[in-house]
Structure 1
Amino acid sequence: MGVEEEEEEEPTSSVLTSNSVNSTPARDQEEETWNQRKQTLILELSGRLINGDLQTQIVAAREIRKLVRKSSGKTRSRFGAAGVIQPLVFMLSLPNLDARQASLLALLNLAARNERNKINIVTAGAIPPLVELLKLRNSSFRELATAAFLTLSAAEPNKSTIAASGVAPLLVQILSSGSVQGKVDAVTALHNLSTCAENSLPVVDAKAVSPLINLLKECKKYSKFAEKATALLEILSKSEEGRLAITASDGGILTLVETVEDGSLVSTQHAVGALLSLCRSCRDKYRALILKEGAIPGLLRLTVEGTPEAQERARTLLDLLRDAPEKRMASSLLERIVYDIAARVDGADKAAATAKKLLQDMVKRSMELSMNGIQHRAASCRLSATQYK
């Protein structure tokens, strides 16, 4: 789509070679001449965009996009300072589709890797017309608008404004019906919005669960995309509607278990967090479902290889999975599973010692939880006795 391309080098003098180190008068003159030419062109295009008729504005917007793509980050800042953002945002609302497309592409490239332009685009009022573009049946406009929300939501000051616009359900629709790139952009945009500290309510609702699970099935579990998808699923697992949707999705729990087994450090942490949310909410309901999908080996491995947070979550979930007599695994089966995990982690020579340590840690953790429960109940009894004296 021509957005966020790598920046090309500024033109330099043909007399310079790869061995040139120190500045020379010829080089200084060449760069000064080029900067002057570029500044003149920036002012010319800005003037045509601000003062021209519609057709002139469309051509100017296309030229701005082209020049920005072929130049350094300074060019983006110079165009922003020249006042092009407001008229480009205005063009987003025009009925002329050529004007909307030209302005959207220009804004996308002006926003790429430029925090100030991102903020100024949103301040200029770009969000409402971008939301309207997402509602169009034209798939090209929807994809471009999705890319715009991805780019603009990367700036922290923009997140609350974008989240309040009601765009999230439209981005969730892209998860089901968009192109591969559109789905990637939508997940990233939703993930960006989910990290806004000012939002007291979740950005996405349970309708996002099924498409997220389907996307997680198809992608590599250690990819950046999987990390963002599992982060959203963990957020959704904190509501009853989200938990029900995960359970109802075809292979929902299995997909999370597979992510625990094959994901990156980040995606495994989110995946085990989602499973833990399920089990904590209703152990009797979700424990059997998680055990059925073969979660134990991956969780045991995670207690050794995961991040500190993931290790703690995995230990807690293992305790919950084993905390019922009718569901408790035979000790010989548990020992065999732990030994197999230890052999893969440390090799056959050290497997016995590693397995022993893992089992000791699990027993210790279980005892700590039991003691905490006893202390809590004792404290509650003392408090009750004091109140009724």
Structure 2
Amino acid sequence: MAKRPTAAEPTRRTLTFPAVHPSDRTPPSALLSSVADLARSILACKSGRFACNRRNAAESIRNVANLLIFLEEVVVPTPPPPPRAPGSVALGLSELHLELRKLRCLLEDCTRDGARAWMLVKSERVAGQFRSSARAMATALDVLPMEDVGVPVEAREIAGLFVRHARKVRFEVDVDDRTALSDLMSILSRFECGIAPERSALQRVLDYVGVRSWTDCHKEIRFLDAELGFEFSSVEKREVEILSSLMGLMCYCRCVLFKVVDIESNRQSNEEHAIKVLDHINPDDFRCPISLELMVDPVTTVTGHTYDRASIVKWFRAGNFTCPKTGEMLASTELVPNAAIRRLIEQYCSENGIPFAESARKNRDITRTVLAGSVAAEGAMKMLASYLASRLEVGTGVERNRAAYEIRLLAKTSIFNRSCLVEAGAIPPLLKLLTSRDSSIQENAIAALLNLSKHSKSKAIIVKNGGLALVVKVLKYGHKVEARQHAAATLFYLASIEEYRKLIGEIPETITVLVEMVKNGTSRGKKNALVAVFGLLMHHGNHRRVLASGAVPVLVQQLKSSDREDFVIDCLAVLSSIAEKSEGTSVILRASALYIIMGILNSSTSRVGREHCVTLLLALCINGGAEVISNLVKSSSLMQSLYSLLSEGTSRASKKASALIRLLQDFSERRSCGSLPAIFQQEQSVHAW
């Protein structure tokens, strides 16, 4: 029976999905066939590019080749004869199956693109795993009773040779691996001391592990970032430091060593492949078997089934240690992120206009990037930031474009990176690039500024260097749609400062251009412009400008036509802000929005969306008076939706719903008595909506 997992058990893996024993119900003949197939798949790994442990990998593959000769001679009678030792045939084959799966995973790790530097650092551990695998397979063969299976004498001799050799071979770390690892550690030590490593030393290490292009380096960075996304225990602090150091090294190498960015063709081929894959996949496979909702953070258990992380974690916390789909007891509660399924879900959502909510884990990942993670990573990033800032200042056009692109990437996901780049003085030269006639340079510069504008110190630097006018100019006249979209998002972050909201609003036609983008832009453009308008509305002087731009009819039309729930929610949020003032309420009512908002409240499955609806309706009632309330009272379904929010909504939504219910009930009671509150006895100027 599988061991019951406990919360204290380590769940950290080397790299790939952990191997598990085959089911006890699998017949020996099927086990034998599966073991032979595993051995053949291991032989196919011979042609792979090994980052390290090349000699140990070659030795293991040769051993499996000899094992396969033996396996192909084994015959399990059907039905099998009574065993001399209970279950010994099944036990021996089951252990072989487990160890061959472990070995295949290990070989895949050693040849995996993106994990090459990490595997070099773990070369001692990997060598030990090769050694352990060989010894375990020898033990499994010892357990297998030759008398109970049909094995010729020659095949038995091969098995004996395999066992003796497996226990004799040492599986030590290659001398070349030790040298390369020593070089790598020397480079990290130089970063710790604030000394730039020699290019030849960097190139030597990268060549050894097989990182030969910008894309190879980028894959390393993405893998290391994903590994850092796992939750580590305190005893694994050293691993976090090493991963962070390697990531700093690879970021430095990607920018300094490689002059050609070759990711575009790679991205295009990946997207084309994803589209082809989607044609053959049932979208129901993207739903969590527990919650039946689209998975946000798909993870795979040791049984091979995939669930949404939040659902399966809740299952475990309830004391369940079985697979929800099969009922099988889990040998471990380890959850391995299923990046392939996640990418397909994102692609499916993108193709079908479905909002894809980011997982809470990703948000935590961003939070952890406040610090570099290690002294070496800190040193590497500071040197790299200075290098990129200097390229922006004195480089050629190509070099400036490349530097802007690298800053765009570095600042996107790391708070620490943003801090280093801002301190290095990257913002002023990026602002100068906004006037470039080269559309690529302009787009990379504004995208870099967008990511840097999230840093607390950057906003003042942008404004001090005349950045507001430059960003607005890109918003209005940017060479590419993407540049204009980035400009809109940048204005949103700049508008987080009260003083800058006022300055942005005073720049002629800024709000009008944003509203036009909401009306006719791309999906991303609409959303960026919408949040920018929302930010500007936080300054009272911009309300009048937003109303004058014709924003309300545009927003109401978007509520009618958009099938993207996240965009509808954003529109409701902006309308709620507009409705806070009586002038805004009047315009919203004239745009015939009241019944549309009520319909969304009754039909929406989003708690946030329903809360915005209630907030908006409450503001319309307060500012619109008796005529608005009388129309709400006539709706038979409205009260049901409001009462559901009392129990299902957030505390804020519950308070808003309660206030609106009291307002409607008070109106009904006073109307039946022929007496209305003073607030409703005043003359109302709005008669149509």
- State the TM-score, normalized to the length of structure 2: 0.40
Which residue of structure 1 aligns with residue 481 of structure 2? Answer: 139
For residues 67-120 of structure 1, the C-alpha deviation after alignment (integer angstroms, 9 at most, x for no partner) is 445x732222111111110111122134443332221122123334x2222443
Unaligned runs of 5+ in 2: 1-113, 126-231, 247-373, 648-652, 680-689
Deviations 1:31-66 (A, max 9, x none): 655554443332222112123354442332223324
Q: Which of 543, 559, 571 matches 1:229?
A: 571
Alignment CA distance shift 1:22-1:41 (3 Å):
closer
Provide the residue aligned with 1:45 in structure 2.
388
Q: Distance in 2 between matches of 1:245 and 1:200?
A: 15
Q: Distance in 2 between matches of 1:132 and 1:218?
A: 30
User: Helix, strand or coil for the counterpart of 1:131?
Assistant: helix
Letter in 1 for 2:657: A
Q: For the residues of structure 1 that align with 2:463 and 2:519, how far apart are their CA atoms? A: 27
Write out aligned runs for 1:297-336 (5 A). 297-298=639-640, 301=643, 304-305=646-647, 306-320=653-667, 323-324=670-671
- Given that 1:299 and 1:318 are in contact with CA atoms closer than 8 Å, whether structure 2 keeps it comes out as no
Contact 2:597 2:613 in 1 (8 A): yes
Q: Deviations over 1:172-231 (max 9, x none)?
A: 1111101112212222222223234x757456216212222233345689x665444223
Corresponding residue for residue 338 of structure 1 = none
CA distance in 2, matches of 1:191, 1:203: 12
Cα distance in 2 for partners of 1:214, 1:33 equals: 53
Confirm or deny: 8 A CA contact 1:202 1:235 kept in the other structure: no
* Separation in structure 1 between the aligned mates of residue 563 and residue 237 of structure 2, nearest angstrom: 47
| Structure 2: distance between partners of 1:13 and 1:73 | 27
The answer to whether 1:21 aligns with 2:273 is no
Amino acid at match of 2:659: E
1:120 partner letter: I
1:204 partner SS: helix
By how many angstroms is 1:284 displaced? 5.6
Going from structure 1 to structure 2, the CA distance change for 1:29 and 1:266 (only over 3 Å counts) comes to closer
8 Å contact from structure 2 (residues 537, 543) kept in 1: no
1:128 aligns to 2:435 (yes or no): no
| Distance change (3 Å), C-alpha of 1:194 and 1:302 | farther
Q: Give 1:312's aligned amino acid.
A: A
- Per the alignment, residue 183 of structure 1 pairs with 526
AA partner of residue 180 (structure 1): S
Matches within 5 A, 1:61-100: 61-69=404-412, 72-100=414-442
RMSD: 4.1
Q: Give the 3 Å change call, closer, same or farther, for CA 318–218 of structure 1 in structure 2.
A: farther
More helix by share: 1
Whether 1:272 and 2:614 are equivalent positions in the alignment is yes
Distance 1:170 1:321 in 2: 44
TM-fit CA distance, 1:156: 5.9
Partner Cα separation in structure 1 for residue 624 and residue 502 of structure 2:
33
* Aligned partners of 1:193 and 1:203 also within 8 Å: no
Contact 2:620 2:628 (C-alpha < 8 Å) held by counterparts? yes
Residue among 261, 275, 279 paired with 2:602: 261
Alignment of 1:208 with 2:551, yes or no, is: yes
CA deviation digits over 1:345-383, x for unaligned, max 9? xxxxxxxxxxxxxxxxxxxxx9xx87x99xxxxxxxxxx
Closer/same/farther in 2, CA of residues 217 and 163 from structure 1, 3 Å limit = same
1:245-260 equivalences under 5 Å are 245-249=587-591, 252-260=593-601
Q: Please tell me the residue identity of whatever aligns with 2:656.
A: E
What residue in structure 2 maps to residue 58 of structure 1?
401
1:284-299 alignment runs, 5 A limit:
285-287=627-629, 289-291=631-633, 294=636, 296-298=638-640
Q: Is the 8 A contact 2:615 2:656 kept in 1?
A: no
For these two proteins, the number of residue pairs brought into alignment is 318
Q: Residue 29 and residue 63 in structure 1: after superposition, are their counterparts in 2 closer, same or farther (change >3 A)?
A: closer
Q: 1:157 to 1:242 in 2, by over 3 A?
A: closer
- Asked if the contact 1:303–1:315 (Cα under 8 Å) also holds between the matched residues in 2, the reply is no
Q: Cα distance 1:43–1:300, how it changes in 2: closer, same or farther (>3 A)?
A: closer
**Residues 233-277 of structure 1: CA distance to partner in whole angstroms, max 9, x if unpaired?**
233335565444433435x21221123334555544443343344
The match for 1:117 is 458
> Using the alignment, how far apart are the partners of 2:445 and 2:401 within structure 1?
7
**1:102 maps to which of 444, 457, 463:** 444
Q: CA deviation at 1:302?
A: 6.0
Q: Which residue of 2 aligns with 1:172?
A: 515
Does the 8 Å CA contact 2:569/2:609 hold for their aligned counterparts?
yes
Query: What is the rounded CA distance, in whole Å, between the counterparts of 1:35 and 1:282 in structure 2?
Result: 57
Q: 1:304 to 1:96 in 2, by over 3 A?
A: closer
**Distance of 2:401 and 2:642 partners within structure 1:** 60
1:145 Cα deviation after fit: 1.6
The one-letter code matched in structure 2 to 1:214 is Q
Contact 2:488 2:529 in 1 (8 A): yes
Whole-angstrom distance in 2 between the partners of 1:325 and 1:315: 15
